[in-house]
Structures are given as C-alpha cells and as structure tokens.
Amino acid sequence: MIKEKTSSKATRQQKVKKFTGVPLFSGTGRRKKAVARVWVRRGSGLLVVNGKDYKRYFDTDTMRLAASKPLTVSSLGSQYDFQIRVHGGGKTGQSHAVKLGIARALLKSDEKLRIALREHSLLTVDSRVKERKKYGQKGARRKFQFVKR
C-alpha cells in the first residue's frame, strides 16, 4: 500500500503571526560571529526568531533558556512581541546574541529594569572570540612537537 503525500510544506510547518506596525523598541546583540537584531511591539509574548517560534529554532533547552532569560527576569515577556533576525555563528552564539538583544531592547522600554538585568549579567557583552592560528604553529597556541635528536 502506497501512502500519498496530501499535506504541503505550508500545512506541516506552524504558521507564525505576521508582525504589523512600527516597532516600539529595538536592540542589537552580538556574540562571537552571531548578530541578532530585535524589534519589540505590543503583544502577547510571542518570540519569533527568523520566522520561526524560538522553541522550534533553538534545538536544546539550554539555548531556549538562554534566549528567553531576559523575559523571565523582567517579567515583561507577556506584554510584548519580539521579532528577531539573527545570522552568523552557531546556534549557541546566536542564542546568546538574542539574549543580549532582548535585554537591550527591554532596557529601552524601561530604564528601571537596568538593576535587575545587570544583577543577572544580561547586559554584559561576552567579547571572547576565537584566536587566530599563527604561522609556524599547529594552532593558535599549540606548537609542533619538538624533536631533540
């Protein structure tokens, strides 16, 4: 018996709400090579990353938790909708870039949140990047094996 494909790609994927109107606030987050641009509008707590729900976009619970941490700290997640465009780097770097972008956007909405966000170090930029490989060496710091005789 042959199964027929009756469902199209559009019906298999969940439809994500289209955003309309001018955003109230925006924020940018960076981590390693990842850059996240965040736009905030009044809404019901929707978090959309690159056209998908953030739970579908980020694979692991650790990444989902990192991306939504500013919303749990500030308790403003249910008042706003967040539209996020993120590119570059890997998924972990992207989740941390989203975290910083959301925190900066929320800070623009209410300056009183600075204390709570700073307490959980959500406004601190993690500026560590991969060190470049040097010539005459195996890697950034690893040398070739030394042979005495």
- pLDDT tens digits, 125-142: 888 988 999 999 999 999
- pLDDT tens digits, 96-116: 999 999 999 999 988 888 999
Residue 125 to residue 128: CA distance in whole angstroms: 9
- pLDDT tens digits, 23-67: 788 999 999 999 999 999 888 888 899 989 999 999 999 999 999
- Domain boundaries 21-119, corresponding CATH code: 3.30.230.10
Q: In this model, does residue 9 exceed pLDDT 60?
A: no
